[in-house]
Every structure is written in structure tokens, then in C-alpha cells.
Amino acid sequence: MKKYLLIGCSLLIFGCNDGDLQIETVDFDSIDTVQNCDTVSTTTSNVLFKINGDEALIVTLPSGLLQNTVTTTDLESAVPGSSQVSYRIFSDNVTSAYFCDSPPPLTPTVKEEIEAEGGSIFITTTTEDSVTFTHTIRLSGITFLNENGSRITDLQVSEFGTVTTGG
């Protein structure tokens, strides 16, 4: 009987969750709006983000990746490297004020931030009038690993969205 009691207690002690966040899905495909704080520029780096309640997906593009030229092939930027992709979970719903106000609001706070460990960003540029350029941003092969080395199992982000420059 003592043997079974010891096994049962061991399972209870070692089988408990330690409270770490377990992220299984990153889904921003249903969020159409890509936000930014300043005017999107072809000459400076750009920080773009999508907000989904208490989560945010942040893409940082290097200076010169967006160009006011129609592309015949996709421009590619490596992640990590020239571009960065971050996923944040907040303590409460977040707004653009968190990213755009200086200083940012005290709440919500970041509960977890995960930087992408691999992948690529592809940019396709079109124009209707040779003045305003539309840049379609797609993510490919983005890999997130949390601090425990666990991979996020389902990344539902393929087309990040569009931004415009010029005009």
C-alpha cells in the first residue's frame, strides 16, 4: 500500500503545471489592420504591429526594404537578421497607445515576449498611379521558441497585411 501511495504522491508533485504560459497558437490572420505610429517610410526602419486583444505581433522592417518601385519579384528579408518579428502577450487588452505614446502607458504590462528565431518576410509592391505604392507583407517559415525551448505549434500568420508609401 505504501508503494502505491508513494507513486500517487509522486505523480501529484511532479505532474503539476509550474504556471508557465503555454502558447500553442498564434493567430493574426483574422486581424486585417496593420498599425504603425508614424508615417510608413522608405528611408527609415518601420515598426508595424497587429493587435488581437491581449496579444500583439510586431514586425520591424529595416530602412530601404520598402521601396517606391513596383516589384516584379518579391523582396525578401531574413528573420532574425535585417528584420525582426516579435510576439507579445499582455496582462490585459492592449491598444496602439502602448506602442505609440511616449512614455507608454503603465498598463497593460508584458507577460511574455518571444522573438522569432527564423523565417523570412516577403514584400510585393504595386501601384495604381505611380505616386502611391502598396506593399503587401507576407511572413514565411516564422519560428517562435519560448524561453523553455518549446516551439509554438500553430502559426496562423501568412499574410501580415498591406501598407502604403508615397503620395
pLDDT of residue 14: 53
pLDDT of residue 69: 94
User: Which residue bears the cell 512614455?
Assistant: 103
- pLDDT tens for each residue of 13-70: 555 544 444 555 677 888 889 999 989 999 999 999 999 999 999 999 999 999 999 9
Please tell me the distance from the alpha carbon of residue 15 to that of residue 105, in angstroms, as a whole number: 38
- pLDDT tens for each residue of 126-156: 999 999 999 999 998 888 887 777 776 456 5
pLDDT of residue 141: 87
Whole-angstrom Cα Rg for the chain: 20
Q: Is 43 exposed, middle or buried (0-12, 13-18, 19+ CB in 10 A)?
A: exposed
pLDDT of residue 18: 45
Average pLDDT value for residue range 106-111 = 94
**Beta bridge partner(s), residue 61:** 46
pLDDT reading at 104 higher than 50: yes
Domain boundaries, the chain: 21-166
